[in-house]
Amino acid sequence: MGVTRVIIGVPKEICPGETRVALTPANVTVLKKKPDLRILIEQGAGDAAGYPDSEYQAAGAEIVSRDNTFEQADIVLQVQTPGSNASNGADDLGKLRANQIVIGMMDPLANPSFASTLAEKNVTGVALELVPRITRAQAMDVLSSMAMIAGYKSVLMASTASNRMFPMNMTAAGTLAASRVFIMGVGVAGLFACSTAKRLGAIVEAYDVRPAAREQILSVGAKPVELDLDTAAAEGKGGYAQAQGEDFLKRQRELMTEVVSRMDVIITTAAVPGAKSPILVTEDMVKAMKPGSVIIDLAAERGGNCELTKLGETVVEHGVTIIGPSNVPSSVAFHASQMFGKNMENLLNLLIDKEGKLNLDFEDEIVRETVVSHDGDVPHTRMRQLLNLPELAAPSQDETPAT
The three-point CA angle 150-85-75 to 5° equals: 95
Q: What is the mean pLDDT of residues 66-78?
A: 97
Whether residue 207 lies in the annotated active site: no
Q: pLDDT band at 245, cuts 50/70/90?
A: low
Known active-site residue 240: yes
pLDDT-based confidence at 249, cuts 50/70/90?
A: confident
| Average pLDDT value for residue range 380-401 | 77
Q: What is the largest CA-CA distance in the chain?
A: 82
Q: Is the predicted pLDDT of residue 320 greater than 90, yes or no?
A: yes
**Average of per-residue pLDDT across 379-387:** 95
Which one of 72, 116, 144, 242 is the catalytic residue? 144
pLDDT of residue 212: 85
One-letter amino acid of 217:
I
Q: Which of 38, 43, 116, 133 is catalytic?
A: 133
Yes or no: domain 144-326 corresponds to CATH 3.30.300.20: no
Looking at 180-245, list the stretches that DSSP marks H as alpha helix, in order from N- to C-terminal side: 188-199, 213-219
**Average pLDDT of the residues of the chain:** 92
For a pLDDT cut of 70, what percent of the chain falls above it?
92
Average pLDDT value for residue range 382-393: 91
Identify the pLDDT of residue 1: 45
Q: Is 377 tagged catalytic?
A: no
Question: Can 51 be counted among the known catalytic residues?
Answer: no
DSSP string for residues in 291-340: TT-EEEETTGGGT-SBTT--TT-EEEETTEEEE--S-GGGGGHHHHHHHH
pLDDT confidence band for 182 (50 / 70 / 90): very high
* pLDDT band at 75; cut points 50, 70, 90: very high
* Arithmetic mean of pLDDT, 274-280: 89
Q: Is 152 a catalytic residue?
A: no
Helix 188-199 vs helix 142-161: crossing angle, to nearest 10: 40
Average pLDDT over residues 314-343: 98
112-170: per-residue pLDDT in tens?
A: 999 999 999 999 999 999 999 999 999 999 999 999 999 999 999 999 999 999 999 99
Q: How many residues does the chain have?
A: 403
Is 7-130+333-386's fold the same as 144-326's?
yes
Architecture of domain 7-130+333-386: 3-Layer(aba) Sandwich (3.40)
Q: What pLDDT shows up at residue 146?
A: 97
Residue 230 has pLDDT above 70, yes or no: no
Task: Write down the catalytic residue from 74, 92, 141, 264.
Answer: 141
Where in the chain are the domains? 7-130+333-386, 144-326
- Selecting among 38, 53, 199, 240, the annotated active-site residue is 240
pLDDT of residue 325: 97
57, 116, 138, 244: which one is catalytic? Answer: 138
Indicate if the pLDDT at residue 403 is higher than 50.
no
Phi and psi of 27, rounded to 5°? -70, -40
